[in-house]
Amino acid sequence: MYNAVGQVPVVHTLPEYEQVCGVTSLADEVYVLRRVQNVYLAFGMEEAQDHTVEEYDVINYGLQRRLTMSLRGVTDMTSCEHYRCVYIADSGKCIHRLDVQGAFTRWAVNDRPWGISVNATHNLLVTCGLYVRKIKEFSSHGDLLRELTLPDDVINPLHAIQTRNGEFIVCHGRRDDAVHRVCKISADGRHIIKSHGGQRGSGIGQYDVPRHLAVDDNEFVFVADVYNERVTLLSPTLDYMRQVVSPDDLKWYPDRLCLDIHRRRLYVTDSEWLSATTKGRVVVFSV
């Protein structure tokens, strides 16, 4: 399916201006979430601030619509084809749900969500980090269905995706953590089956904040490796295959991914989010 060597080609770059906090695709649209302001309170908490959700045509990438939302601080974005909706994870410990018709709802998570994804049963998986080490599964309307606690050495999980057989692919490791890995975890959340990574670094087999994942229909895994400024491709057994996006393809830091399996497009956010004046864009790759 994927060649053993070589980067994937860039096919388009969405406009560059405010920081991009999330990207997802749904039907014939690409949704991009941008932070308009960047105001921080004590202990890393954020004031409510304006964000924009932009909808682009997936064929020509023309802007179709722009919505404004007031959020505490966005940590991730995903979508569900079955329910035709977009989800936004808010650091105010809640999830926002946006219907394609434009209706908004939200519900409480009661822990700070770091990453979100939709599983094969169309439920929302919320990865809660900051030492909580939990995956919470919600129905599309916010009913808590179950809660899993991850192994003790999965410190600061950032994103999780569930495979067809019920196992989880989880990335973990914030900047000050000793271990930065991608793990395959059992369906009950208790055991690490396989892992890739270890001590933080820039070599093959190492990560420097593996922030976000995308998994294709054959369970190949794309990993956004933030401070190494690259995207790595792993096999379904989490063996290293190659680097698919390099620092040469990016201006800043890749920290969110979206894979459009049907059109074979990988959307990578590229944001200058360590600066007082942030900028961002989405780079589209053909995979």
Q: Where are the domains of the chain?
A: 24-252
Q: Please, which residues have CB within 8 angstroms of residue 124's CB and are 6 or more apart in sequence?
A: 78, 80, 87, 95, 116, 117, 118, 137, 138, 139, 140
Q: What is the pLDDT of residue 277?
A: 58
Average pLDDT score over the chain: 90
Tens digits of residue pLDDT in 233-250: 999 999 999 999 999 999
Contact (Cβ atoms closer than 8 angstroms) between residue 173 and residue 181: yes
Reported pTM? 0.92
Q: What is the pLDDT of residue 39?
A: 46
Query: Would you call 227 helix, strand, or coil by DSSP?
Result: coil
Q: What is the pLDDT of residue 274?
A: 63
Contact (Cβ atoms closer than 8 angstroms) between residue 30 and residue 13: no
CATH code of 24-252, in short, is 2.120.10.30
Q: Which residues of the chain have pLDDT under 50?
A: 4, 39-46
